[in-house]
Amino acid sequence: MTDDLLDATDHEILGLLREDARRTLSDIAGRVTLSTAAVKRRIDRLRETGVITGFTVQVDHAKLGWGIEAFTELRFVGNTKVAEILRTTTRMPEAQAVFTIAGDPDALVWLRVRDMAHLQKTIDEIRRQHQVTGTKTLIALESWSRGN
Residue 146 domain flag: no
pLDDT at 147: 63
pLDDT at 107: 96
Domain of residue 101, residue span: 61-139
| Three-state secondary structure call for residue 107 | strand
Report the C-alpha gap between 28 and 41 in whole angstroms: 12
Q: Is residue 3 very low, low, confident or very high in pLDDT (cuts 50, 70, 90)?
A: low
pLDDT at 148 over 90: no
Per-residue pLDDT, 131: 92
> What average pLDDT score do residues 72-77 get?
96
How confident is the model at residue 2, as a pLDDT?
56
Structurally, the chain folds into a number of domains equal to: 2
Domain membership of residue 148 (yes or no) is: no
Query: pLDDT category, 5, cuts 50, 70, 90?
Result: confident
pLDDT averaged over every residue in the chain: 93
Asked if residue 39 belongs to a domain, the reply is yes
What does the pLDDT look like over 54-63, one tens digit per residue?
988 888 999 9
Q: Are residues 71 and 135 both part of a single domain? A: yes
Average pLDDT, stretch 95-123? 96
40, 74: one domain: no
CATH (domain of 70): 3.30.70.920
Our CA dihedral for 103, 95, 68, 129, rounded to 10 degrees, sits at -70
Whether residues 67 and 135 share a domain: the answer is yes
Residue 98 phi/psi, 5-degree rounding, is: -130, 130
Instruction: Say if residue 36's pLDDT is above 80.
Output: yes
Minimal CA–CA distance to 75: which of 65, 85, 60?
A: 85
CB 43 within 8 A of CB 27: no
Pair (99, 67) in one structural domain = yes
Residue 87 sits in the same domain as residue 112: yes
* Domain-located, residue 20: yes
**CATH (domain of 41):** 1.10.10.10
